[in-house]
Amino acid sequence: MSDQKIIEKIRSLPPEKVAEVEDFVDSLRLREQDHKEGSTSSTEEGANVDWKSLEGKWVAVENEVVVEHGTRLVDVVRSARAMGIPKPYVFYVEAIREGAAKLGL
């Protein structure tokens, strides 16, 4: 599909849907940026998550699965919403001592 056709389709959407498209595009950019920086979205289940690797990050969870993580809360929420999760459960993973991590807001 050509760029012009995509632009025409977006222009035909109501404003609230254009905002959703913008959020989705932003989440794709963030995911690409995180990937380049070595931090990517995850679909790991709770028991299989390496929580130590998520220290200092915000984490979005849906149905006991980590769906997104990153250093900026707003980016994690925006990305989770772009995945179709209207109210993601989000928390911060804080390091508390060697070999342990604390989960919570």
Q: Based on the structure, what is the number of domains in the chain?
A: 1
Residue predicted with more confidence, 69 or 28: 69
Q: What is the model's pLDDT at position 41?
A: 47
d(CA 23, CA 83): 10
Closest CA to 73 of 57, 53, 61: 57
d(CA 82, CA 24): 5
- Give the bridge partners for 48, in sequence order: none
Q: What is the model's pLDDT at position 12?
A: 93
Sorted by sequence, the CB contacts under 8 Å of residue 95 that are 6+ apart come out as 55, 56, 101, 102
**C-beta of residue 86 within 8 angstroms of C-beta of residue 20:** no
Within the chain, residue ranges assigned H as helices are 3-11, 15-36, 73-82
Reported as a single tens digit per residue, the pLDDT across 10-50 is 889 898 888 888 877 776 776 666 555 544 444 455 557 78
d(CA 10, CA 51): 39
Q: What is the model's pLDDT at position 40?
A: 43
Domain with 89, as residue range(s), is 3-104
Sorted by sequence, the CB contacts under 8 Å of residue 85 that are 6+ apart come out as 60, 62, 67
Split at pLDDT 50, 70, 90, the class of 105 is low
Reported as a single tens digit per residue, the pLDDT across 82-100 is 888 989 999 998 877 666 6
The model's pTM:
0.53
